[in-house]
Amino acid sequence: MIISKETLVKAFEAGLPGEEVQWEMASSDRLIKNFPRIPRHDTAEAAVMILLYRLNGSLFTVFIKRPDYEGIHGGQISFPGGKRERNDRSAEETALRETSEETGLPAENIKIIGQLTPLYIHVSNINVIPFAGWYEGIPVFTPQKSEVDFLIEADMESFIREPVIKTGDFKVRGENIRIKYFDYTGHVIWGATAMIFNEFLEIIRRSRPEVRG
């Protein structure tokens, strides 16, 4: 069964797996410290994009490697996205704008096909609203150097049939924590990105009964 844009739209319309599936990939500090899941009154809003496109007959998505810096998310692998700006009329517009800025792709060529469950990130007090978007054609990326070290083009089939989920001990913000992560060709995809991605993978599995179980 080929994963088409229409197949995914129907899968989103059938309903979201939700928070429970996201938290299957939560790190130990989120669980042990029982981080709050509901945004505060002063929480900032952000949006990210799971960008999908066809390449050599397969479905791909793209991750970005953030530059190393002192901030909370420095050096991490994430989806394109960022904080909502004052001129953004909606979270969807934020996701499109940030994706275009960070990857160099024209926003008008990206069709939003669904919105996933928002995820509150306690350590940065940001509520992230994830979207899935379909890019028509083969993308030609020109990453924004100030925001992106490099891009990781990932074949979705690698995650759908046999996702490589590992567990390891890492030092994060001066604290040793145990994390669950996706290992994609040696790249560690963890934290909020892994949680959001896990829900998206479940949406795909629901649209492809032959890969379940």
Over residues 14-59, the pLDDT tens digits come to: 999 999 999 999 988 887 777 888 999 999 999 999 999 999 889 9
User: Quick check: helix, strand or coil at residue 10?
Assistant: helix
Could you give the number of structural domains in the chain?
1
Q: Is residue 139 part of a domain?
A: yes
Exposure letters 111-121 (e unless 16+ CB within 10 A, then b): eebbbbbbbbb
Cα 177 off chain centre by: 21
For the chain, what percent of residues have pLDDT higher than 90? 72
**CB-based burial of residue 106 (10 Å sphere; 0-12 exposed, 13-18 middle, 19+ buried)?**
exposed
Q: Is residue 213 part of a domain?
A: no
Q: How many helices (H) and strands (E) does the chain have?
A: 6, 11
- Domain of 13, in residue numbers: 5-207
Average pLDDT of the residues in 135-147? 93
Residues 15 and 10: their CA atoms lie apart, in Å, by: 9
State the CATH number of the domain containing residue 182.
3.90.79.10
pLDDT digits (tens, 9 = 90+) for 96-129: 999 999 999 999 999 999 999 999 998 899 999 9
User: Using one digit for the tens of pLDDT, what is the confidence trace for 142-194?
Assistant: 999 988 999 999 999 989 877 789 999 988 767 888 999 999 999 999 999 99
Q: What whole-number distance in Å separates Cα of residue 132 and Cα of residue 127?
A: 17
In a domain, 175, yes or no: yes
The reported pTM is 0.92
Largest CA distance in the chain: 46
Q: Cβ–Cβ contacts within 10 Å for residue 212, how many?
A: 8
Angstrom distance (rounded) from CA 84 to CA 36: 21
Let me know how long the chain is.
213
The pLDDT assigned to 213 comes to 45
pLDDT, residue 36, reads 84
Give the pair of three-digit tokens for residue 45. 């809003």
| CA-closest candidate to residue 78, choices 151, 138, 27, 162 | 151
Single-letter residue type at 88 = D
What lies within 8 Å, CB to CB, of 28 at 6+ separation is 177, 178, 179
pLDDT of residue 70: 59
Is residue 212 in a domain? Answer: no
Residue 75 Cα distances to 70, 120, 147, 162, 197, angstroms: 9, 20, 10, 26, 18
38 in a structural domain: yes
Residue in the structure block whose two tokens are 């509150």: 120
CA dihedral 154, 189, 143, 84 (to 10 degrees): 120
